[in-house]
Amino acid sequence: MFHVPPEIRIVSPPRKRQNPFPKPIDTEAIENIVRPFILSDDDYRKLMDSMLENFNKGLGKETNASARVKMFQTYVKSVPDGTESGDFLALDLGGTNFRVLLISLDGKEVKMESKIYLIPQHIMLGSGVQLFDHIAECIFKFMKDHDLMGKTLPLGFTFSFPCRQIGLDRAVLTNWTKGFKCEGVEGNDIVKLLHEAIERRGDIQVNCLAVINDTVGALMSCAHSDNSCAIGLILGTGTNACYIERLENVELWDGDWDEPQQVIINTEWGAYGDDGALDFVKTEYDRKVDKHSINPGKQVYEKMISGMYMGEIVRLVLVKLCKHGLIFGGRGSEELSTMGRFYTKYVSEIESDVNDHFKNTKQVFEDLMIPNHTEEDCRIVQHVCCLISTRAAYLASAGIACLLNKMNRPDVAVAVDGSLYRFHPHFHDLMVEKITQLLNPGIKFRLMLSHDGSGKGAALVAAVANRVQQQKKQQQLLANGMNDLSMDN
């Protein structure tokens, strides 16, 4: 179990690369294999320039259709102001687990109850009807267990897949990611599919006020306690980011122009590089991971960063080192040779070894059934993990620095959620180090751990939507009253 960083972590000095091979081994051969993972600041700045072009292309009316980074408008214009109150349901679908939550808000006070339900593999790869019937069944079980039958509560739905929103409560799935391939969902409104599944049951009622992405949830969750939060970042199974953009820059905006004249943009930046923009930094290992994925050629940036792929990149490097006789005496194991068997959690565990006892690393070798290994092997494997996770942290940092420079706000809190950020021992510090190096002068930032953004955040979006609706009704009543008074006079 790893230490979870506090909401705002103190920045520790950046790690310095030390020679991990104190004993005489073929260090040159090893470094030749892993060197492609070491990128220069010029590489990262080149990446940022290209990414900014992609962002602007996605925001442009004439260029959005051909843009790989779609920059979806979320229709979320306001962040919590601390006055939200009431009971709300939240749904969270973003991976193999589905959650239903009951969230009670009273100003800054938040109470949550939740239950996790598994999404079986056959449903992930089945039909959309099966998926949403399963979701409806989970909602029924939760409402029954929490004595909510017969009640209709406002609901927020975190649906963490690329969607084109056509309203706060309407979102069309553009393409599946993260191992899902349910037929009949792409190109359809997921809220409509949810309501149809609920209607098929006929025994529960929900009022979905908002559908959001997990990045928006992370942002909203942190904004509830810090109103300078303007970026949401996910670093887990996948990676994505959202940020607050001025309406004047959103050429496809078709909503109201009331204050505030801003909207949260869901970048869907995982698709950055799908047009070849990242080919100059891709390694042979990245290409192999992409080739054997369920969506070759897509989500290129995500595949170089996120937890779904990092362990496999490490495994491929270790297999090559083993074939060249540079680790394990040239003898690995069947497990090490099996695609997907080196889990990303191993990277965090191996890098958590702080001394030369290599307790975690040796346990990983045991899990992989590698009987013969030396301390040199431990150091080499730790070095490989370090280089690959550092590249991932720096790539994500370049994206955040690009957004911060684009927004040009003097002080921004960045909400971050996801298992990779939470559990990797150095990810936070590496990101602070690299973002600081890549930022324009005069911009301050801090990384905040988002606490249950995909659950709490969904409820907060629904709560804010509910508050805004009530405020507009009050304003309309007031305006009607003023008109009546004027006519009487």
Active site positions, annotated = 178, 214
With CA atoms as reference, report the closest residue to 114 among 137, 94, 92. 92
Q: What is the biggest distance separating any 2 CA atoms in the chain, rounded to whole angstroms?
A: 97
By three-state DSSP, how is residue 298 classified?
A: coil
Q: Within 18-102, where are the H helices?
A: 27-34, 41-59
Rounded to whole angstroms, the Cα distance separating 265 from 269 reads: 11
Q: What are the distances in angstroms from CA 329 to CA 25, 37, 174, 319, 325?
A: 12, 24, 47, 12, 6
Is the peptide bond preceding residue 260 cis, with omega within 30 degrees of 0?
Answer: yes
The Cα 289–Cα 311 span in angstroms is 10
Short-list 210, 166, 192, 172, CA closest to 78: 210
Nearest Cα residue to 56 out of 428, 402, 467:
402
What phi-psi label fits residue 145: left (phi over 0), alpha (psi between -120 and 50 degrees) or beta? alpha
Token look-up 């899902």 returns 180
